[in-house]
Amino acid sequence: MDGKNSMNDQDVKLLERSFKRYYLSHLTEIPVPTDIAKREFGYKKFTGGMIRHMNVQDEKAMRLLLVENSPADVYCSNSYYLFPNMDMKKKDWQGADLIFDIDAKDLHLDCRYSHTCRVCGECKNVYKESSKCPQCNSIKHISSSWPCKNCINAAKKQVVKLVDILENDLGICADLIEIYFSGNEGFHVHVGKTEYNMLEPRARVALGDYIRFYNVMPETYGVRRSKIDRKKFPTEDDPGWHGRVAKKFFGKNAPRSTSNTEYVKIAEKLKNAQYTMGACIDMQVTGDIHRIFRMPGSLNSKSGLAKILCTDLAKFDPYQDACFIDCDLVKISAQCPIRFSLGGRTYGPYIKETKVEVERFAAVYMMCKGTAHAISS
């Protein structure tokens, strides 16, 4: 969810001003995409609408785009084109970086319900634990999730599994793999120029299925309905999924049976292993070579946090390390039923609409999630 649907003119002005201050003060720290002139750029404004099919020739032009437009979100293609500003059919595709998206919302964690609220589509009231708005009885709403530490840690575990597969199964050098916090609920993993850059969408989907350990057949691991031959089982020394499967299911302590019914059991185990052994990546992102993707260093309009490089994933704390909006005090009207921590401080909950003065980064965070509005000073 983002809070743009519930914003008024004052909200838009405060957010545009806050984002512009970020871009002005951090302009030289924002990384310039490689082969920038061959990529398609796009951006969104807080007032809505997507502008894309843009060509940005160099670093100076990119920085001008950020400062002049105060965009809510900025995007850049993972593909390279001869003519990035043309219509899609005329761009002349030249290849695309591998990019993977891991989002906590796709992990179906038990904690999610506890930190999700609803913004009424009619009266904009914010509420929890009710199927309809307690103020106007409307069932129209937009969900607003406030990812917690458990969400971020769970997403990190998926990143670790993904990177292990990229390095050890696909042979991608660690120096070519970059891990970014997405600016909201997860991580983006970018892979620089490799032999995989020329893969077409169908091949990228197949690669994604391999990474997810999706739709695996027992026969791949020597298990057949008619006959189970232990000699064809993989060993722990085998590379890739064969070795992982051997350790998980065919290790020294794992029971081995030659009964035909064992096939069904193993098939079920392999199916369930998708969720425990495979990396949970967004396949719509992996297979789409014409997507424009959130640009590193830009702010995310769903939170006001920055998409930044994680040099130490284990220690990375997005609520400290990705919070760059200024800390001067601003007045807002908040109705935020979720207690949250940001920039080393804790805020809320504000069960009823409450006028408060908080640091700008906290005001922006609540406004981006549709639970606060600006008050004119």
Pick the residue with more confidence: 229 or 170? 170
Q: What pLDDT, on a 0 to 100 scale, did the predictor assign at position 235?
A: 86
Selected catalytic residue, list 2, 73, 97, 101: 101
Q: Measure the CA–CA gap between 277 and 169, rounded to whole angstroms.
A: 14
Q: Is 186 helix (H, G, I), strand (E, B) or coil?
A: strand
Separation CA 191–CA 199 (nearest Å) = 13
pLDDT at 256 over 80: no
Per-residue pLDDT, averaged over 175-187, amounts to 97
Q: What does the block give as tokens for 306?
A: 């920055």
pLDDT band at 1 (very low <50, low <70, confident <90, very high): very low
What is the pLDDT, as a whole number, of residue 343?
96
* Catalytic member of 282, 312, 321, 326: 282
Q: Is 169 a catalytic residue?
A: no
Whether the CB-CB separation of 170 and 211 falls below 8 Å is answered with: no
pLDDT at 273 over 50: yes
Using CA atoms of 100, 101, 106, 111 in order, give the dihedral in degrees to the nearest 10: 120
Q: What is the pLDDT of residue 254?
A: 54
What's the sign of the alpha-carbon dihedral 342, 346, 349, 352? Answer: negative
Q: What is the dihedral of CA 323, 314, 296, 166, to 10 degrees?
A: -160
Give 224 or 31, the one with higher predicted confidence: 31
> Could you report the per-residue pLDDT of 108-153, keeping only the tens digit for each?
999 998 999 999 988 888 988 788 999 899 999 988 899 999 999 9
> Does the pLDDT at position 301 exceed 80?
yes
Which of 2, 97, 103, 288 does the annotation list as catalytic? Answer: 103
| Euclidean distance between CA atoms 271 and 259, whole angstroms | 20
How many residues comprise the chain? 377
Is 92 tagged catalytic? no
Confidence of residue 372 (pLDDT cuts 50, 70, 90): very high
DSSP string, 190-239: EE-S-GGGG--HHHHHHHHHHHHT-S--GGGGTB-SS-B-GGGS--TTSS
Active site residue 229: no
Are 158 and 279 spatial neighbours (Cβ–Cβ below 8 Å)? yes
* Residue 329 to residue 273: CA distance in whole angstroms: 49
Q: Considering the entire predicted model, what is its pTM?
A: 0.93
